[in-house]
Amino acid sequence: MPEPDIELERYELFEGPRYRFEVDRRDFLKSFSTGLLVLLVVPRDGVLSAQQESGRGGGDRDRMPADVNAWLHIGEDGAVTAFTGKVELGQNIRTSLTQAIAEELKVPIAAVTLVMADTGRTPYDQGTFGSRTTPTMNLQLRKVAAAAREVLASRAAAQWNIARDAVTVKDGRVQGSGAAQSIGFGELVKNAPLVATVSEKTVLESPKDWAVAGTAVPKINGRDIVTGRHRYTSDMTPEGLLYGRIVRPPSYGATLARVDASAAEAMPGVVVVHDGNFLGVAAPTATAAGQAALAIKAEWTAGSGASARTLFTDLKRPADGNAGSPIIAGSVDEALTRGPLKVDAEYTVAYIAHAPLEPRAAVAEWQDGRVTVWTGTQRPFGVQQELVDAFHVAPDKARVIVPDTGSAYGGKHTGDAAIEAARLARAAGKPVKLVWTREEEFAWAYFRPAGVIEIHAAAQKDGVVTAWDYHNYNSGPAAIGTPYDVANQRIVFHPAQSPLRQGSYRGLAAVANHFARESHMDEVAHAAGIDPLAFRLKNLRDDRLVAVLKAATDKFGWKANATGIGLACGVEKGGYTACCVEVRVARGAVTLVRVTVAFECGAIVNPNGLNNQVEGAIIQGLGGALFEAIGFENGRLTNGHFAQYRLPRFSDVPPIDVILLDRRDLPPAGAGETPMVGLAPAIGNAIFSATGTRLRALPLVPHGLPASTNQ
Amino acid sequence: MKVSLRVNGATHEVDVTPTQTLLSVLRDQLGLTGTKYGCGEGQCGACTVLIDGLPVRSCQARASLVQDKSVSTIESLESNGRLHPLQEAFLKHEAMQCGYCTPGMIMAGVGLLASTADLTDEAIVKAMDRNVCRCGTYPRIVAAIKEAAHARA
């Protein structure tokens, strides 16, 4: 039985890779015949491996052959190169992972080059999602760098004939006693290659002693970003490049009935590909590609006719799917009957779009039956497998490289653009770049799942919650369990047939589940006549959650009887957050006056990067909380443009006070997602506090407050 | 049709279609890929460049209509290895995450700094409100623009 937290959260149940890339990898390893190489021999039980991660995915571990991967190399010139399959998408892990290596290896940040997300060079990785990079990859690279440090120190000590403990490692050099005993890493490995492996005995620096990790190291390629020099996938222009364009169906579910491409085919340099339902062109310029696509006459069958009007009833129809195991404790039905306070409500969340500012893009090139694709994806090895499946090529014939990408937020798990570009490139015999238009990105990517959440709760008159009967339809099971101490629980995830393509999203179901749970806790608090903060503290036993709740409310200046304020708290993926919001309501409009958010995720690896992530999560979260919702009618989107789909802008942002709790005594956890989860319920609770109206749908106020609201 | 474009101080003769956008010419014909495509409808500002010093959405400007005007892109700001004060301020405040909106933000900010003497937070928010940062680094961008305004004063 797979653990539901990863598989269901992703909503896309890809299998792990069935093959490895022996030919490529051996060639690659040969290039490291000098210097120091840190290898990781993956044992069958996967204890030391990053593939532990994929082991969570239900049996992947069994399919993985024991293999050798190169994780770190130190050249005879002292240059340090590390390899990770993780992807940089703006979450700043290129910097935080480099810090981890620099810390353990005792080299300056600038000495480290981190090669990321290249299936031909980096070790296998399941993907960059689920806030897993910091708890797993950061630890992995620390171990790898520490192993390298130890063999270097030992070799120097042996050369000087002194004890290992008598040498220190600093600034890329090993020092013995006196000025004569000092040698650079490069010199140490000159003409005598070394191989290190990570073992159980590899000792890491304690976070309490961190000197480079734990500090605000500036973003590593920041200068390339501010000068426009960084090349995203969509900026690449290899020699002989053609530009691709796909002809899309007019509505979801429509299939190609008839195609007349003769006019397009007559255009100079244009290649038309019609293969099943795939219809696209490649042309010498982007303009010509657009003209050729327009010149194709395509007839399509009628589509699905999906409509948002019936969405929330549709989602409650029983459907097959992986429900995971319900959480059951005590006897919820009895406790609900006992009461005496009983509160029932239903909450809904809309589909929303990731809208990464860089749309999906890919550059594909075939050479001698091998395809290389540069593309912005969170799952390079997953996309490699998609290429293998789509083109029936051997695994060593497909390589995926991910340039640092213009964000994803969970929206780039799939390889759609990669497959499309590769199909066009194969037909054209030249490299093809495909950059999805904004309209394509809205319509043909996938959405954060919509959902319905039904809650029945009971409490004693003193505010102790006694029953929690919780049903989530389609949103997903991430953070579905309650962190409150409730004796009788029944918590169930009900999969549904989603009318729209749906998938992962930053925080995913944790946003929906926290919205429902924390709104409902507020409802129960009011039913019991208890201040929402005191009510939560009464029902909480989790010290870390209590700590962030107290930190946020203290800084915010929470007052039991004030109006227009709301709070929420939660825990997910090892991160603890509490959020307080003050709103002003006037003439049907809700204005956020201020937001205070406290966050704790163990030891902080980069405080400025973390602050940026927390602030960004709150600001992105404003959209889904207040106004973002995908509209659809008759199988088509009704607002799939930036002109119609409202995104948070400068003027939407209130003053945000971020409090970070640094727990150097705890291992670091991820932070890209969880800071978002308290915002929507805190806003909803503040609106209730201001108006007495309980809003139970996300987004809360897409068209302002309902007319009946007391303002 | 042939048009003559003055971009970052250099003159280029380019072959364009009558409706072709300046963005498309910059990226696909002149190789100036620092200017980004975000939406193609003038809503996100990722494609912002300066035309005669004023911020313009290059996805909405027809290349054929900007002849004889002076176009500046993000690539023009660094000179002799020295960054523009606003680029420095973006680095100092780490006013970016994925960085895709950054060139457009910086060009809009450079235009704003040149046109307005007294930059309050409100004035910055109002002027920048058509530029989208989906990662949500807005407060840092405001801080960076203020910093550059002070450096200028």
Domain boundaries, chain B: 2-76, 85-152
Determine whether the interchain pair B33/A231 forms a contact, defined as Cβ–Cβ distance below 8 Å: yes
For position A494, what pLDDT does the model report?
96
From CA A484, how far away is CA A490, in angstroms rounded?
13
| pLDDT band with cut points at 50, 70 and 90 for residue A585 | very high
Per mean pLDDT, which range of A410-419, A579-588, B89-98, B113-122 is the poorest? B113-122
| A133 vs B5: which has the higher pLDDT | B5
Predicted confidence (pLDDT) per residue in A620-649, tens digit:
999 999 999 999 999 999 999 999 999 999
Residue type, A411: G
For position A25, what pLDDT does the model report?
57
For position A191, what pLDDT does the model report?
87
Residue type, A133: T
Determine whether the interchain pair A229/B142 forms a contact, defined as Cβ–Cβ distance below 8 Å: no
- Residue A581 pairs with which residues in a beta bridge? A566, A595
| pLDDT band with cut points at 50, 70 and 90 for residue A70 | confident
- CA nearest A710: which of A696, A695, A594, A702? A695
**Pairing assessment for the beta strands A194-197 and A36-41 based on DSSP bridges:** parallel
For position A63, what pLDDT does the model report?
35
Size of interface A-B (CB pairs under 8 A): 164
Chain B, window 42-71: residues with a beta carbon less than 8 angstroms from a chain A beta carbon: 43-44, 46
Determine whether the interchain pair A235/B33 forms a contact, defined as Cβ–Cβ distance below 8 Å: yes
Predicted confidence (pLDDT) per residue in A523-540, tens digit:
999 999 999 999 999 999
Chain A residues within 8 A of B137 when measuring between CB atoms: 612, 615-616, 619
Q: Which two tokens stand for residue A645?
A: 């789909």
From CA A8, how far away is CA A3, in angstroms rounded?
9
For position A706, what pLDDT does the model report?
83
Determine whether the interchain pair B94/A232 forms a contact, defined as Cβ–Cβ distance below 8 Å: no
Q: Which two tokens stand for residue A2?
A: 């797979």
H-only helix segments in A190-308: 222-226, 262-265, 286-295
Residue type, A698: L
For position B152, what pLDDT does the model report?
74
Determine whether the interchain pair A642/B101 forms a contact, defined as Cβ–Cβ distance below 8 Å: no
Percent pLDDT > 70 in chain B is: 99
CATH architecture, domain defined by B85-152: Orthogonal Bundle (1.10)
Q: What are phi and psi of A279, to 5 degrees?
A: -140, 115
Chain B closest-CA separation from residue A37 CA (Å): 31
- CA nearest A295: which of A262, A254, A258? A262
Nearest to B90 among A226, A618, A647 (CB): A226
Chain A residues within 8 A of B38 when measuring between CB atoms: 357-358, 438, 642
Determine whether the interchain pair B135/A243 forms a contact, defined as Cβ–Cβ distance below 8 Å: no
| pLDDT band with cut points at 50, 70 and 90 for residue A142 | very high
Determine whether the interchain pair A227/B101 forms a contact, defined as Cβ–Cβ distance below 8 Å: no
Chain A closest-CA separation from residue B129 CA (Å): 5
Segment A682-689 shows an average pLDDT of 98
Predicted confidence (pLDDT) per residue in A587-623, tens digit:
889 999 999 999 999 999 999 999 999 999 999 999 9
Determine whether the interchain pair B101/A357 forms a contact, defined as Cβ–Cβ distance below 8 Å: yes
Residue with tokens 């102790």: A464
Determine whether the interchain pair A228/B41 forms a contact, defined as Cβ–Cβ distance below 8 Å: no
* Alpha-carbon separation of residue A298 from A174, A247, A251, A256, A601 (angstroms): 69, 8, 13, 7, 53
Per mean pLDDT, which range of A14-23, A38-47, A242-251, A702-711 is the poorest? A14-23
For position B96, what pLDDT does the model report?
98
Q: Is the pLDDT of residue A447 over 80?
A: yes
Segment A307-317 shows an average pLDDT of 93
For position A319, what pLDDT does the model report?
84
Segment A330-346 shows an average pLDDT of 97
Determine whether the interchain pair B39/A438 forms a contact, defined as Cβ–Cβ distance below 8 Å: yes
Determine whether the interchain pair B98/A650 forms a contact, defined as Cβ–Cβ distance below 8 Å: no
For position A27, what pLDDT does the model report?
64
| B34 vs A507: which has the higher pLDDT | B34
A interface test, pick of B25, B33, B98 with most A CB neighbours within 10 Å:
B98
Nearest to B134 among A91, A219, A356 (CB): A356
Predicted confidence (pLDDT) per residue in A460-495, tens digit:
999 999 999 999 999 999 999 999 999 999 999 999
For position B16, what pLDDT does the model report?
94
Per mean pLDDT, which range of A320-329, A384-393, B29-38 is the poorest? A320-329
Contact A579, A592 (CB under 8 A): no
For position A198, what pLDDT does the model report?
86
Chain A residues within 8 A of B109 when measuring between CB atoms: none
Let me know how many helices (H) and strands (E) chain B has, helices first: 5, 5
For position A61, what pLDDT does the model report?
35
Chain B, window 91-120: residues with a beta carbon less than 8 angstroms from a chain A beta carbon: 91, 94, 96-103, 106
CB of B143 within 8 Å of any CB in chain A? Answer: no
Predicted confidence (pLDDT) per residue in A90-110, tens digit:
999 999 999 999 999 999 999
Segment A74-96 shows an average pLDDT of 95
Determine whether the interchain pair A647/B75 forms a contact, defined as Cβ–Cβ distance below 8 Å: no
Chain B, window 3-42: residues with a beta carbon less than 8 angstroms from a chain A beta carbon: 17, 20, 24, 27-28, 31-41
Segment A196-223 shows an average pLDDT of 91
Q: What is the value of ipTM here, to two decimals?
A: 0.98
Chain B closest-CA separation from residue A623 CA (Å): 10
Contact A546, A484 (CB under 8 A): no
B interface test, pick of A94, A233, A357 with most B CB neighbours within 10 Å:
A357
B interface test, pick of A87, A96, A226, A230 with most B CB neighbours within 10 Å:
A226
Chain A residues within 8 A of B46 when measuring between CB atoms: 357
Determine whether the interchain pair B97/A234 forms a contact, defined as Cβ–Cβ distance below 8 Å: no
Chain A residues within 8 A of B125 when measuring between CB atoms: 650-651
Nearest to B106 among A226, A643, A656 (CB): A226
**Pairing assessment for the beta strands A488-494 and A432-435 based on DSSP bridges:** unpaired
From CA A442, how far away is CA A446, in angstroms rounded?
8
One fold for B2-76 and B85-152: no
Predicted confidence (pLDDT) per residue in A6-62, tens digit:
333 434 433 344 333 344 555 666 777 788 888 775 544 444 333 333 333 333 433
Q: What is the CATH number of domain B2-76?
A: 3.10.20.30
Chain B residue closest to A219 (CA)? B94
Nearest to B100 among A223, A357, A647 (CB): A357
Computed over every residue of chain A, the mean pLDDT equals 91
A interface test, pick of B20, B39, B43, B102 with most A CB neighbours within 10 Å:
B39
| A21 vs A316: which has the higher pLDDT | A316
Nearest to A616 among B39, B43, B136 (CB): B136
Half-sphere exposure of A175 toward its Cβ, with a 13 Å CA cutoff? 9
Determine whether the interchain pair B124/A232 forms a contact, defined as Cβ–Cβ distance below 8 Å: no
Q: Is the pLDDT of residue A455 over 50?
A: yes
Chain A closest-CA separation from residue B66 CA (Å): 18
Chain B residues within 8 A of A608 when measuring between CB atoms: 94
Domains of chain A: 4-226 (3.30.365.10), 233-302+360-435 (3.30.365.10), 316-352+447-698 (3.30.365.10)
Chain A closest-CA separation from residue B120 CA (Å): 13
Per mean pLDDT, which range of A56-65, A289-298, A621-630, B65-74 is the poorest? A56-65
For position A508, what pLDDT does the model report?
85
* Alpha-carbon separation of residue B11 from A415, B22, B54, B69 (angstroms): 40, 14, 19, 10
Chain A closest-CA separation from residue B26 CA (Å): 11
Determine whether the interchain pair A620/B134 forms a contact, defined as Cβ–Cβ distance below 8 Å: yes
Chain A residues within 8 A of B33 when measuring between CB atoms: 228, 231, 234-235, 237
Chain A closest-CA separation from residue B5 CA (Å): 18
For position A28, what pLDDT does the model report?
67
- CA nearest A626: which of A652, A654, A662? A652
**Pairing assessment for the beta strands A697-698 and A341-349 based on DSSP bridges:** parallel
Chain A residue closest to B135 (CA)? A616
CA torsion through residues A237, A91, B97, A83, sign = negative
Chain A residue closest to B99 (CA)? A225
From CA A305, how far away is CA A633, in angstroms rounded?
7
- Residue A602 pairs with which residues in a beta bridge? none
